[in-house]
Amino acid sequence: MPGAPEFDTDFHESFRNLLIWRRDVRRFQTHPLPPNLLQELIQLACLAPSVGLSEPWRFVEVSSVSRRQQIRQEFERANTEALAGYSGEQAALYSRLKLSGLDDAPVHLAVFSDPTTAQGAGLGRQTMPETLEYSVVGAISTLWLAARAHGLGAGWISICSPERVHQILSVPPEWRLIAYLCIGYPDADHDTPELQRAGWERRANSAAPLLER
Amino acid sequence: MPGAPEFDTDFHESFRNLLIWRRDVRRFQTHPLPPNLLQELIQLACLAPSVGLSEPWRFVEVSSVSRRQQIRQEFERANTEALAGYSGEQAALYSRLKLSGLDDAPVHLAVFSDPTTAQGAGLGRQTMPETLEYSVVGAISTLWLAARAHGLGAGWISICSPERVHQILSVPPEWRLIAYLCIGYPDADHDTPELQRAGWERRANSAAPLLER
C-alpha cells in the first residue's frame, strides 16, 4: 500500500533510546507544559490498540487544589499502610524512597476505563474481559513514551485506593481507575530506574528468557 | 546528566507514523523472522516500566505443531460461542471477520504474568495489585511498537479461555495469561484498523475529550 513508512536503523536506534531513557519520574520541575501539549499526547495515546476497537479510555485532568490535596492525603494514608508491611532494614529503606511527584508535577492525569461502553459491541471481550482494562494500559504506555519524546516525565501512582480516588474525582460510577499519573518536566534524566538507584531492586541483567513449548 | 538524548521533530513525526501504522494484524505472510529478531524485540519489551521494578513478564514461544493445533481449536470453540451472542446482520458480519492469524503467523508468543514473583518486594502492589498484570501489558505494547518498527505485525488473540491456553502450554500453575500473540510479516500495511475497514466499528474521529476536575 502506498504511503506506508519505512523505519530505518536510525529510527530503531532512537526508539531504543526512548525506551532506555523513559523513567517512572517522581521528581518534577513545577513549570507548566506548553499549551496543547497534553492534548497532543492524549491524541497519540488514542492511537493505541483497543479490544474490538472499543477505545474505552477516559482521561481526567485534576487541577482543583482541593481535589489534589485529597489525592495527596490518600497517597499518604496508603503509603503509611504499605510501610507497615515491611520491617527492619527494608522498612527503613522504604521510608526513604520518594514514591510520588504529587506535590510538584504540573499535571495530574487520572485515566479510567469505561466497562459499559457499547463501542466495539463486545467483540473480543467474552473470554478475556480484562482486555478492556488492558487497552487503557496500552494507551497509557503510548502516552508515556510520547511524553518522554517531548522531554516530559510521567510517574504512575498505584499507592492509593482506586475507590477513594474515584470518589474524590466524582466520575461516573461505572468507570474503573487504571492509573493516576503525574506529568511534567523531570528534575534530571536517567537511564536507570529510580528504585535501582535507591537500592530497592535491580533490573534483570538481560531480557527475560524465552521458554519453548 | 550527560548522555541523555534529545528527540527532535523528525523523531516525533516518525514516532507518530509508527503509532498510525501499527495494526492488530490477522493476515500474515508465512516466512519466518530473521534469526534473533524475536529475542531483540523481547529485550526491548523488557525496558517497559513495571510496578516496583517487579518485571513480572514471562514469554513463551509456541512452536509445537500439536500445541498450535490445540490453540487453534480453542480459538474456534470460543469464536463459535462468541458468534452465538450476536444475531441478524451483526452475526452475519461477525462471521465474515477474520479474527486471528493463527494459521499463517510464523511466531506464536504467549505472554504471562507471574504474581508470585518476589522481585520488587511487593512495592506499589498493595492497593492496586492489578498493576502487576498492567506491567506485562506495557511490555506487550512496547514489543508491538518495536515489531512494527521492524516491519512486523502483531495480533492479540483474546478469543480463547485463558485457563485452557494455560493447560495447553503446561506453564507453572501460578502464571496468568495476559496475551496470546501472533507475530510475522503482514500481508499488507494499513493506517486504519481492520475492524473499521470491515465495517464492524469506527474509530472515534478525534482524541478522547479531556475532562476537568
Check whether B80 has a pLDDT greater than 80: yes
CB of B99 less than 8 A from some CB of A: yes
Within a 10 A sphere around the Cβ of A47, how many other Cβ atoms?
18
Selecting from B48, B171, B213 the residue whose C-beta is nearest the C-beta of A60 gives B213
- Cβ contact A131–B156 (<8 Å): yes
Give A71's contacts in chain B (Cβ within 8 Å): none
Q: Which residue from B53, B65, B47, B68 is spatially nearest to B165, judged by alpha carbons? A: B68
Look at A159 and B64 and tell me if their CB atoms are within 8 Å: no
CA A56 to CA A146: how far, in whole Å? 20
Q: Report the alpha-carbon angle B97-B205-A110, nearest 5.
A: 100
State which amino acid sits at residue B93: L
- Nine cell digits for residue A171: 466520575
Instruction: Work out the number of other CB atoms within 10 angstroms of the CB of residue B212.
Output: 9
Per-residue pLDDT, A208: 80
User: Which amino acid makes up residue A123?
Assistant: L
CB of B26 less than 8 A from some CB of A: no
The answer on pLDDT for B1 being more than 60 is no
Residue of B nearest to A211 (CA): B60
Residue among A51, A42, A100 nearest A73 (CA): A100
Whether B152 and chain A come into contact, CB under 8 Å, resolves to no
What pairs with residue A61 in β-bridges?
A109, B212
pLDDT given at position B56: 97
Per-residue pLDDT reduced to its tens digit, A82-122: 999 999 999 999 999 999 999 999 999 999 999 999 999 99
Q: What is the pTM of this model?
A: 0.97
Domains of chain A: 24-187 (3.40.109.10)
CB contact under 8 A, A119 and B144: no
pLDDT digits (tens, 9 = 90+) for A19-77: 999 999 999 999 999 999 999 999 999 999 999 999 999 999 999 999 999 999 999 99
pLDDT at A206: 74
**ipTM, 2 dp:** 0.97
Residue numbers in B near A97 (CB within 8 A): 123
Question: What single DSSP character describes residue B28?
Answer: B
Do B207 and A42 make contact, defined as CB atoms within 8 angstroms?
A: yes
B206 to chain A: closest CA residue = A43
